[in-house]
């Protein structure tokens, strides 16, 4: 199902500022005090072979406005990392890493004859907490299999993450110290990329729901190979305990990277449902009842990972705009205009 949306002039985004200048920079998430961003980058000029976690001083990055600003690396520099997020107090950052499974970057998914796009869900990913100097202070997951995609409640009491420890990619929650880990989704398909609502009572996430026998078989066969095809996903919400599951979008194609707007009444997300070519991801907002779809971006062919600052004033996201016709994806921030 497609939706007719009036092209945007990006009128919700004021004073757009570029924060990084090379490589693939993604999943930038604000500190609780609105001053820093944790993010992942594979920028070759920083000596990186695959994604590592960094902590950006937003004021310093804006002042430099070029690649001379190099934020400190928080991860170990070993293995591959993903999905960082500030902990309450802004002195620690959690992230997922494969470094205990090997110092080298694990191999990416091999290309397929049918050219289907695949994500690797590495079984060696576990969730760690490090201080802002990079010293690991806690390991929050120890179960065999994939544990990643962790984010923290605005209330500072809970963490949501994705794990395949039960045989499927499901959402799990735990206390801020890693205790009381419990599965909250149970339907076949990939559940991931979850974030809490501003009041900490609900979650928004992306999910695939294979319907036919062949689709279910393909999903389970890929999962056995630690792979997932993220080309057919919709946006869902539920309560923190997993109750009241609701499908918000019915757009088709890939709808992902959702986040609640500051008032908790809408969801901003990335989608290619409008595209005839597949790879054209723009940001949209939608009401919690699935109405009021509005396009937010129109510049470049990739816009994703939007996150509002805790004070509701700024949006940060990843985009391949202004990359001088390279493959670089950089971080951008803007003042949000309702």
Dihedral angle sign, alpha carbons of residues 317, 320, 322, 328: positive
Structure-token pair, residue 203: 């979650």
pLDDT value, residue 267: 98
Q: Is residue 2, in this structure, part of any structural domain at all?
A: no
Q: Report yes or no on 6 lying in a domain.
A: no
What is the pLDDT at residue 286?
98
Which of these, 244, 263, 273, lies nearest to 312 by C-alpha position?
A: 263
Q: Is residue 149 part of a domain?
A: yes
pLDDT score at 8: 58
Kindly tell me the number of DSSP H helices and DSSP E strands found in the chain: 2, 25
Domain hosting 213: range is: 13-336
What pLDDT does 278 receive?
Answer: 67
The verdict on residue 232 lying in a domain is yes
Domain membership of residue 7 (yes or no) is: no
Bridge partner residues of 282 (DSSP): 271
> In the chain, which residues have pLDDT < 70?
1-8, 278
Quick check: is 5 in a domain?
no
Please name the residues in contact with 75: beta carbons below 8 A apart, sequence gap of 6 or more: 52, 53, 81, 84, 95, 97, 99, 130, 134
Can you give the CATH number for the domain in which 211 is found?
Answer: 2.120.10.30
Position 6 scores a pLDDT of 45
**Overall number of domains in the chain:** 1
- Cα separation, 223 vs 217, in Å, equals 10
* pTM for this prediction: 0.95
Q: What's the pLDDT tens digit per position in 72-110?
A: 999 999 999 999 999 999 999 999 999 999 999 999 888
């Amino acid at each position: 199902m497609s939706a007719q949306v009036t092209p945007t002039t990006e009128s919700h985004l004021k004073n757009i500022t570029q924060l990084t200048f090379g490589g693939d920079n993604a999943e930038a998430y604000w500190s609780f005090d609105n001053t820093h961003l944790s993010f992942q980058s594979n920028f070759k000029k920083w000596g990186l072979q695959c994604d590592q976690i960094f902590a950006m001083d937003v004021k310093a990055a804006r002042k430099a406005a070029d690649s001379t600003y190099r934020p400190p690396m928080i991860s170990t520099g070993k293995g591959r990392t993903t999905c960082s997020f500030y902990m309450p107090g802004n002195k620690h950052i959690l992230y997922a890493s494969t470094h205990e499974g090997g110092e080298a970057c694990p191999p990416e998914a091999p290309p397929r004859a049918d050219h289907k796009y695949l994500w690797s869900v590495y079984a060696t990913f576990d969730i760690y907490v490090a201080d802002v100097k990079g010293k690991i202070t806690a390991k929050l997951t120890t179960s065999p299999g994939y544990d990643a995609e962790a984010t923290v409640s605005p209330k500072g009491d809970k963490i949501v993450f994705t794990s395949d420890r039960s045989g499927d990619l499901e959402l799990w929650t735990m206390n801020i110290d890693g205790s009381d880990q419990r599965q909250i989704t149970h339907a076949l398909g990939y559940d991931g990329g979850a974030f809490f609502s501003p009041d900490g009572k609900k979650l928004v996430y992306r999910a695939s729901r294979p319907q036919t026998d062949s689709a279910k078989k393909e999903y389970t066969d890929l999962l056995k190979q630690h792979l997932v095809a993220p080309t057919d996903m919709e946006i869902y919400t539920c309560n923190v305990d997993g109750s009241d599951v609701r499908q918000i979008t019915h757009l088709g194609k890939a709808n992902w990277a959702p986040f609640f707007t500051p008032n908790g009444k809408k969801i901003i997300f990335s989608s290619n449902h409008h595209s005839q070519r597949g790879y054209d991801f723009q940001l949209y907002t939608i009401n919690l009842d699935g109405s009021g779809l509005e396009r937010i971006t129109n510049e470049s062919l990739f816009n994703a990972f939007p996150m509002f600052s805790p004070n509701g004033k700024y949006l940060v996201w990843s985009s391949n705009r202004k990359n001088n016709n390279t493959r670089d994806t950089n971080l951008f921030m803007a003042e949000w205009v309702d």
